[in-house]
Structure 1
Amino acid sequence: MRMSAVMLGVEDLDRARRFYVEGLGCEVEKDTRGFVALSAGDGAPQLALYEWGAAARDAGVPAEGSGFRGVSFHVNPDTRAAVDELIGRAVAAGGSVVREAAPADWGGYFGYVSDPDGYLWKVTTYGS
C-alpha cells in the first residue's frame, strides 16, 4: 500500500490555502470550488484541503460530533476490483465500512473504511 494523499477538512478554504501556499510553500496542483490539492514536495503525499461540511458529506458521516474528525487518508489502487479487495482486507483486519464502494458522479469509484479508532480512509480509483 502507498498512501497518496492526506485530506484536511477546513472551515475556511481561502484561509487554509493561504496558510499552506504562502506560509509553508506548498504548490497548488488543483483548485476547484470547495477543494484544493497541493504538492507538499517530492516524495510527499498530496495534501488536499476540502471544505469541512463537504468532506463529511463525501464520507457519509455527520460534520459535527465524532462522525467527522477533519482528516481522512487516501489510497488509490489501479482498479475497482483492487478498491473492493483493499476495503475487504481492511474490514477483515478490524476496520469498518463507513461508505460502501460505488461509482462516483465524477467518474471514479470509491468507498470509505474506518480504522479501529475511527480514522477515515478513502479508497478510490479512476480506473475500471
Structure 2
Amino acid sequence: MKPRISMVSLAVQDLEKSINFYRDGLGLPMIESPPTVAFFDLNGTWLGLCERSALANDATVSPIGSGYSGFNLCHNVMTEGEVDKLMAEALEVGATEVKSPQKAHWGGYHGYFADPDGHLWEIAHNPFGWVGPKDD
C-alpha cells in the first residue's frame, strides 16, 4: 500500500447543514459532487461528507454510536495567532469550542473545536517545523 490518505469521510446527521458549515462557514472549496455526498478539495486530500446512516449502511455497520470516535482531524498553521484567528472564525460559523487555544504539553500551541456533528478538529501551531503542504 502506498503511504497516503486520499480522502477522509465524515458521517453527518444533516448534509445541507454540514455543507453550509464547511463550504460557507469555513470556506473550504467544494468540488462537483453527487447529490447524496459532498466533496471538498484539501490540497491533495479530499474531505467527504455523507449522511451517517448511508455511510454506515455502505460499510455494513450500525449507524448508532457516540462519544469519542477514536480520531480527530488536525489543521496546522504557522503561528499561535493563526490558531486563535481560525478558532474564532470556526466558532463564529457554528463550531463548538472543546478546548480553548493554549500552550500544549508537547511544546506547541493548540485548541479544539467540534463541527455540527461533533467531529473534533485540532487547530495547532507546531514550533518544531512541519505544518503541512505548502500553499501556492
TM-score, normalization: structure 2? 0.47
Q: Which has the larger radius of gyration?
A: 2
TM-score, normalization: structure 1? 0.50
